[in-house]
Amino acid sequence: MKQPEGFIVPGKEHLVCRLKKSLCGLKQAPRQWYKRFYSFMIRQSYCRSQYDECIYFQNGSFIYLLLDDMPIASRDKSLIHKLKTQLSNEFDMKELRATKKILGMEISRDRQVGKLFLSQQKYIERVLDRFNMNNCKLVSTPLAAHLKLSSKLCPDTKEEMKHMSHVPYASAVGSLMYAMVCTRPDLAYFVSMVSRYMHNPGKSHWSAVKWIFRYLKGTSGIGLVFDRKMATTNDVAGYVDSDYGGDLDR
């Protein structure tokens, strides 16, 4: 490390500067921001969730910290208003009213029938555009049974590897993964399949990825629906399954 230009002390060039305050862009900065926000919320007598350390709550109202976005949820509008005033006294912030979009997810609500709809149509369209899959033909399932992927299909000659090195495999899988994590659990199996060959993808792996894009093209508008009528109990239910016989690489 060197002393910054214009602040060099003659005769003491071997010394470095000591920071008294966190700077934006340093690797320590996110931690400092989290600590600052945490101590502020504790002062407002909010509790931090034990299970997700970005959720703070206080009798029925919640705030979720997403770096610098903070959706607030509460049964009582006055509580939301109170928290907003407290926050704006402490931080510079902009109020965006009812949440329409967060992390690329579009939120639409129908309060009369009690439905909440999460989708990523814009995001998916942008991804399709980036990989030039806008005009592809549609398919109805995200991976057909005839595309049997295994590590045997990985390229082993130099030519094939060179050919595959021009393919943006990892970034395509990454884009799919983001959609999967947010609103598209239907992609989960297929993304897990194609991401197994990230280290050395072959031509057939890439065509499987393109197949998923073709499925996405036809279903970009679908998303998760949370329906009040469908919720029979408050209890969480889980479903598990596994497939050992079908795994070619076992």
Partner 1 sequence: MSTTEAEYISTTEGVKKAIWLRGLVNELGLTQGVLTVFCDSQSAIHLTKNNRYHDKTKHIDVKCHFIRDIVVAGEIVVEKIHTSENPANMLTKPLPNTKFQHCLDLVGLYST
Q: Which residues bind partner 1 (CB under 8 A)?
A: 49-52, 55, 57, 60, 62, 108, 117, 119, 140-141, 143-145, 147, 184-186, 188-190, 219, 221-227, 230, 233-246, 250
Q: Which is nearer to partner 1, 13 or 76 (CB)?
A: 76
**What are the structure tokens assigned to 29, written together?**
């900065």
In the complex, what is the shortest distance from the CB of residue 102 to partner 1, in angstroms, rounded to a whole number?
17
Beta carbons of 17 and 5 less than 8 angstroms apart = no
Q: Which is nearer to partner 1, 22 or 44 (CB)?
A: 44
Residue at token pair 């109990």: 233
**How far apart are alpha carbons 247 and 177 in whole angstroms?**
21
In the complex, what is the shortest distance from the CB of residue 174 to partner 1, in angstroms, rounded to a whole number?
19
**How far apart are alpha carbons 7 and 26 in whole angstroms?**
20
Question: 157 to each of 110, 150, 225, how far by Cα in Å?
Answer: 56, 17, 47
**What are the structure tokens assigned to 110, written together?**
């129908």
In the complex, what is the shortest distance from the CB of residue 2 to partner 1, in angstroms, rounded to a whole number?
48
Q: If residue 191 lies in a helix (H) or strand (E), which one and from where to where?
A: helix 188-195
Number of residues assigned to the chain: 250
Q: Which is nearer to partner 1, 28 or 141 (CB)?
A: 141
Residue at token pair 């034990």: 50
Q: Which is nearer to partner 1, 72 or 222 (CB)?
A: 222
In the complex, what is the shortest distance from the CB of residue 52 to partner 1, in angstroms, rounded to a whole number?
6
Residue at token pair 């006294």: 89
In the complex, what is the shortest distance from the CB of residue 60 to partner 1, in angstroms, rounded to a whole number?
6
In the complex, what is the shortest distance from the CB of residue 184 to partner 1, in angstroms, rounded to a whole number?
7
Q: Which is nearer to partner 1, 39 or 140 (CB)?
A: 140
Question: 36 to each of 72, 81, 98, 102, how far by Cα in Å?
Answer: 18, 21, 26, 23
In the complex, what is the shortest distance from the CB of residue 41 to partner 1, in angstroms, rounded to a whole number?
15
Q: Which is nearer to partner 1, 15 or 144 (CB)?
A: 144
Beta carbons of 183 and 105 less than 8 angstroms apart = yes
Q: Which is nearer to partner 1, 159 or 249 (CB)?
A: 249
Largest distance between two CA atoms of the chain: 76
Residue among 124, 127, 128 at smallest CA distance from 137: 128
Q: Please count the other Cβ atoms lying within 10 Å of the Cβ belonging to residue 5.
A: 6
